[in-house]
Amino acid sequence: VKGGFATFMEKEIHDQPQAVADTLLGRVDAEGQLMLDEMRIPESVMRSIDKIVVIACGTASYVGHVAKYAIEHWCRIPVEVELAHEFRYRDPVVSEKTLVVAVSQSGETMDTIMAIRHAREQGAKVLAIVNTHGSTIARESDAVLYTHAGPEVAVASTKAFLAQITACYLLGLYLAQLRGNKFPDEIRETLEQLRQMPDKVKRVVDAEEQVQTIAAEMKDERTVLFLGRHVGFPVALEGALKLKELAYIHAEGFAAGELKHGPIALIEPGQPVFVIVPSPRGRDALHAKVISNIQEIRARGARTLVIAEDGDTDVEPFADVVFRVPRTPTLLAPLVTVVPLQIFAAALATAKGLDVDQPRNLAKSVTVE
C-alpha cells in the first residue's frame, strides 16, 4: 500500500506529479480552452459574480491565499480568504453575487461545512474544491470541482495541497476566459505552463536527498522560521505548519516585508530561516526585495536556507544552502517551492524517530467544530 516507501507521507509526496496531472486531465481541450463540465453553476451566474470568498482550514486555507494572487491578477475579481471557523462566527458580507469557494481534502471538515451552510443561507453560490467523492461538502455545495489526488492517508496534507492549488488555477483561468480577460495570450500561455508543472514537480521530488540530509542535521533545532513574499508567503506558512505538526518544532511563517515591523528581532546567530525566492524573471521588484531580505537576516547571523530557481545566481552570496526548483512563472511557483518544505518536515520528523503518518493529537478529518 505504501508503494515501497517507509511512510504514506513519503509515498504521497512522490504521488504529487500525478496528482497535479490528474487534476488537469480532461479539463483543457486541444485549443487550450478550459472545459469544466462539472461546473453546475450557470455561466451567466459566473459572469455576474462580483466577489469570491475562499473558506477552508489549515493547509487548505493556504491554497486560498495562492488563489487570491492568481485569480485577482487573471480575472480582476476581488478574492477574500478566510478560515472557515472565523467566517462562520462573524457577520460576513455575502450576497447572490458572491461565489464562495470551499476547499477541503476530506470534504468532512465540520468547520467548513458550517461555513458553507451559513453562506448558502445568505444566498451565495458555493463551489467546492474537494478530493473525496460523495463527501458532505461535495453534496452540500452548488457545484464541485474535484481534485484528483487519490486517497490521502497521511494526516499531514501534501498531494491534496498541490491538487487544490491546481484546481484553483483552473478555476481562475476558466473565469478569465469566461469573462473575457484583457490578456488572452497570457491565459493561453499560463495553461501551457500549467501542463508542464507535473514534470517540474517531479524534478523537485527527485532531488529529495539534498533536503533529507540537511533535515537530519537539524533535528535538534528549537525554532525554524520561513519567509516569503507574494505567493511565497502562503508557501512559508505551509512550510511552518508542516514542521510544527510533523516534527513538533516551533515554526513560524512570515511575509518577508513584515520582517522590519517586528520579527527581525527574533534573528540571532545560527537561527535557521527558510526563504522562498520568487523568479528573477517575474514581475516588479519582487525578486530584488527578497534578496535584500535575505541580506538583512544574514547580516544578523541567520543561517539561510534558500529555495530559488535554477540559474538564479543572485542568491548565492547570501545563502548557506540553496534548494533549486525549475524555472516557473511566478504565480505557478507554489507547486514547486512547497515541495522541499514538505520533504524537510517529513525527514526531520523521521530523524527524530516520530510517527510521520500519525502525528500526536491530530486526526485526518476534523469532524467536530
Residues binding ligand F6R (CB under 6 A): 57-60, 104-106, 109, 112, 156-157, 241, 245, 365-366
Q: How far is the CB of 47 from ligand F6R (least distance, A)?
A: 29
Q: Cα–Cα distance between 14 and 207 in angstroms, integer?
A: 11
Helix (H, G, I), strand (E, B) or coil at 6: coil
In whole angstroms, the minimum distance from the beta carbon of 366 to ligand F6R comes to 5
Whose CA is closest to 275, among 322, 217, 218? Answer: 322
| Nearest 10 degrees: Cα torsion 85, 91, 92, 98 | 110
Nearer to ligand F6R, 18 or 105 (CB): 105
Locus of grid cell 493561453: 188
Residues 266, 270, 276, 281, Cα dihedral to 10°: 110
- How many whole angstroms from its chain centre is CA 104? 12
Please list, in sequence order, all residues whose beta carbon lies within 8 angstroms of the beta carbon of residue 43, skipping any fewer than 6 positions away: 178
For residue 176, the minimal CB distance to ligand F6R (Å) is 25
202 labelled catalytic = no
User: What is the closest distance, in whole angstroms, from the C-beta atom of residue 111 to ligand F6R in the complex?
Assistant: 8
Which CB atom, from 277 or from 345, has the smaller least distance to ligand F6R? 345
Q: Return the number of the residue (147 or 293) whose C-beta is nearest ligand F6R.
A: 147
**Three-state helix/strand/coil letters over 325-363:** ECCCCHHHCHHHHHHHHHHHHHHHHHHCCCCCCCCCCCC
Q: Which is nearer to ligand F6R, 98 or 342 (CB)?
A: 342
Closest CA to 236 of 334, 130, 131, 109: 334
Chain residue whose CB lies nearest ligand F6R: 58
Sheet with strand 79-83: strands edge to edge = 79-83, 51-56, 98-104, 125-130, 143-146
Cβ neighbours of 72 (radius 10 Å): 14
Q: Please, which residue, 214 or 240, has the CB nearer to ligand F6R? A: 240
Q: Considering the candidates 2, 51, 289, 364, report the single residue annotated as catalytic.
A: 364
In this complex, which beta carbon is closest to ligand F6R, that of residue 157 or of residue 350?
157
Give the alpha-carbon dihedral of 115, 120, 123, 126, to 10 degrees: 90
Q: How far is the CB of 11 from ligand F6R (least distance, A)?
A: 15
State the minimum distance, in angstroms, from the CB of residue 141 to ligand F6R: 13
- Give the three-state DSSP class for 144: strand
Give the catalytic positions in this structure.
364
